[in-house]
A and B are shown apart, each in its own frame.
Chain A
Amino acid sequence: NAGVMQNPRHLVRRRGQEARLRCSPMKGHSHVYWYRQLPEEGLKFMVYLQKENIIDESGMPKERFSAEFPKEGPSILRIQQVVRGDSAAYFCASSPGRGGKETQYFGPGTRLLVL
């Protein structure tokens, strides 16, 4: 049973470009979460999605950032017009979505570097 998959693992962008980060949840999981980790810090929640719905985006910057989890295909975290401060590791997690206690399982992350 494959775990959470993320791609690309490393992404380099110049300021002003767009970054697209993909996340495929574990098989059978319908909930996806995105977190950002700055160097030597803990993970910070960004957004929580179910299929075709954004449940909680309270941790996501209002501008330039968007997320989706379509009916088919992976979840996408999109960052438009990237700035150097966007450089970080972005982790996706998934959970079954059956309610109650939901352990989140994390992917390997995408390390974004903005030049």
Chain B
Amino acid sequence: GESVGLHLPTLSVQEGDNSIINCAYSNSASDYFIWYKQESGKGPQFIIDIRSNMDKRQGQRVTVLLNKTVKHLSLQIAATQPGDSAVYFCAETTVTYGNNRLAFGKGNQVVVIP
């Protein structure tokens, strides 16, 4: 079946360094992708999104890259801070067909070392 998945289960990063989280998706019809951050005991928090007609989008300290050729999505966090410690999920959906159902990957734990 179609799925969204993450390559690495845990990423340990030194405070101040950059973090890169990767995500592979298999549904070639997906046209809208979102990164969420989930802290322990909380709901997913929107970080950044990207449509399939773009290959890069930047936010505050975060950048999302989309490579449709290999169906790969990544989230880059600049100057990682202790508050960035969380589980990060990529999610995809197909807006074009009016299907707002999000498909989530399993998550990637980021641990920031002070």
Contacts and interface: CB of A to CB of B under 8 A. Distances in A.
Partners in one complex: yes
Interface of A: 4, 6, 31, 33, 35, 40-45, 48, 56, 58-59, 91, 93, 95, 100-109
B104 A48 contact: no
A37 B104 CA distance: 10
Contacts, number: 63
A45 B102 contact: yes
Interface string B103-114: 111110000000
B44 A43 contact: yes
Contact of A41 (B32, B46, B100, B106): B106
Contacts of A31: 100
Given A4-B43, A58-B101, A102-B100, 5 more contacts: A31-B100, A41-B107, A42-B106, A42-B107, A103-B34
B95 A107 contact: no
B42 A103 contact: no
Contact of A106 (B4, B43, B103): B43
A107 B43 contact: yes
Contacts of B46: 103-106
B18 interface: no
A44 B104 contact: yes
Interface residues of B, number: 23
A48 B32 contact: no
A101 B51 contact: yes
A31 B102 CA distance: 13
Given A42-B106, A43-B44, A100-B95, A48 B100 contact: yes
Contacts of A91: 43-44
